[in-house]
Amino acid sequence: MIEPANHADNVVQLRPQPRIYARSEHTISRKYVSESALKVLYRLDKAGFQAYLVGGSVRDLLLGREPKDFDIATNALPEQVRELFRNCRLIGRRFRLAHVQFGREIIEVATFRAQHDGDTEGAAMTDQGRILRDNVYGTLEEDVWRRDFTVNALYYNIADFSIVDHVGGVEDLRAGRMRLIGDPDKRYREDPVRMLRAVRFATKLGFLLDQATLAAIPRLRHLLEDIAPARLFDEMLKLFQGGVGLQTFEALRHHGLFHCLFPLTDEHLDGGEGEFAQRLIAAALRSTDARVADNKPITPAFLLAALLWHVVEEEAEKLVANGVTAHDALGFAADTVISKQIARIAMPRRFSNVTREIWALQSKLEKPTPKRIPRALEHPRFRAAYDFLVLRAEAGDPVQEEATFWTEFLAAEEGDARETLLQNLRSQPEGARTGVSAKRRRRRRRRPPAVAE
């Protein structure tokens, strides 16, 4: 929803009075709030504190979606929260938060915080507009200001089951609109990750970015380069493993934000061979989305393998042109590309090692021989590497026949059926069967046939 209003008029300000939606005016029912969250809310309330459900849970409940987690805001200080709950830990340096644990579920309880411009003592310390420290306690009204989007700043009051809305969040929810609270330039400068969050929520919820929230992104997206790589890794998981990874990837590209996360990939996508990489990444994200929908396990190692594969291949080809053997080239290229990538997004080694193994296994799976097959099958990453080979084939890499061979081999019963497939393989000299050279010549890539709508 693009609003014609000019920039200054479009800035969301706190209303003089909040709009209170009574229990009869909204659809949130306690039936859909986790029991643990209700326990925390009730106990805070009974102890005389204010207690609200806030953030994504209120937003999602109003939309009829299942919240990922339940966050609580209160005027009780962290130490006071700890006194109320035995199963409570205080965490965080930048923000002091209470975590109340119920089995595997953690309810996060945050004390209302004020966020001023650094003119009051102890207020948020900033560095070029970026928030470094932010632990000044405040009131609910003040707490609204530190939240990012209007739809994330709704408070569900356990005392009377009403919703407190200071910024028109309910109207924005109904209109399907993501709007930053306050001046977008200032809010993005304080925390550039909000640009990624804007795109993530808009995609997940099917919302549109409000004009001012949208317009500031091209001006400020370069600020994401200063974000700590470890934080970007967390964000990356939310962006690509939240169930709508493919759409999110496309939206990030559209807004010029993907470059900040995967600069090498982004540059490759814009080059002449980009469409093959685009297709592989799309296939990997589509399969991740399907697995998320089915509650199947997923690993960032697999996505990383797809996101960087063509960059690594290109790098390896350069090395081969300079006389490095094909076998060594892939390993060297993987080292170079991964070390450049982790400077931007801190991918823990336990994942990047798996990514390397998936890549290294490709050349083995591309040349199945009776001797290599049993060894490949025993490799702990065989399944991931096979899935990756199939995606590559789908995306137009010249490995269709090899992928089909493995698919048939795996589908065949152990014993006779597999033995027949192996016999066929034995009767053909290596390479003749598929006619595909190990060099994976780029011009052999084929566009997959167009699928009829």
Question: Toward ligand ATP, which CB reaches closer, 150 or 265?
Answer: 150
User: x-or-dash pattern for ligand ATP, window 54-73, by CB under 6 A?
Assistant: -xx-----------xx-x--
The count of other CB atoms within 10 Å of the CB of residue 408 is 13
Q: Which of 71, 165, 172, 191 is the catalytic position?
A: 71
Site for Mg ion contains 235 (CB under 5 A): no
Asked if 342 contacts 304 with a C-beta cutoff of 8 angstroms, the reply is no
Tell the burial category of 142 from Cβ atoms under 10 Å away from its Cβ (0-12, 13-18, 19+): middle
Supply the minimum distance, in Å, between the C-beta of residue 97 and ligand ATP. Answer: 11
101 has which bridge partners? 106
Cα gap 237→249, rounded to integer Å: 12
Window 67-86: contact mask with Mg ion (x via CB under 5 A): --x-----------------
Interface pick for ligand ATP out of 28, 81, 193, 389 (rule CB under 6 A): 193
How far is C-alpha 206 from the geometric centre of its chain's CA atoms? 16
117 tagged catalytic: no
Minimum distance from residue 175 beta carbon to ligand ATP (Å): 18
Q: How far is the CB of 334 from Mg ion (least distance, A)?
A: 35
- What is the rounded distance in angstroms from the CA atom of residue 274 to the CA atom of residue 271? 5
For ligand ATP, how many residues bind (rule: CB under 6 A)?
13
Assess whether 148 carries a catalytic annotation. yes
The active-site residue out of 148, 172, 210, 289 is: 148
Q: Which of residues 128-147 bind ligand ATP (CB under 6 A)?
A: 147
Q: Which of 143, 148, 165, 402 binds ligand ATP (CB under 6 A)?
A: 148
147 binds, among ligand ATP, Mg ion, none (CB under 5 to 8 A by kind): ligand ATP
Please state the closest distance from residue 65 (CB atom) to Mg ion, in A. 12
Q: Is 160 a catalytic residue?
A: no
Beta-sheet pairing, 105-111 with 71-74: parallel
The values of phi and psi at residue 307, to 5°, are -65, -30
Residue 315 near which of ligand ATP, Mg ion, none (CB within 5-8 Å, type-dependent) = none
Cβ count within 10 A of residue 239: 24
Residue nearest to ligand ATP according to CB distances in the complex = 56
Residues in region 71-100 near ligand ATP by CB under 6 A:
71
Task: Please identify which residue in 34, 47, 56, 299 interacts with Mg ion, judged by CB under 5 A.
Answer: 56
Q: How far is the CB of 151 from ligand ATP (least distance, A)?
A: 8
Site for ligand ATP in 346-385 (CB under 6 A): none
Residue numbers of the site for Mg ion (CB under 5 A)? 56, 69
Residues within the interface to ligand ATP (CB under 6 A): 55-56, 68-69, 71, 147-148, 152-153, 191, 193-194, 238
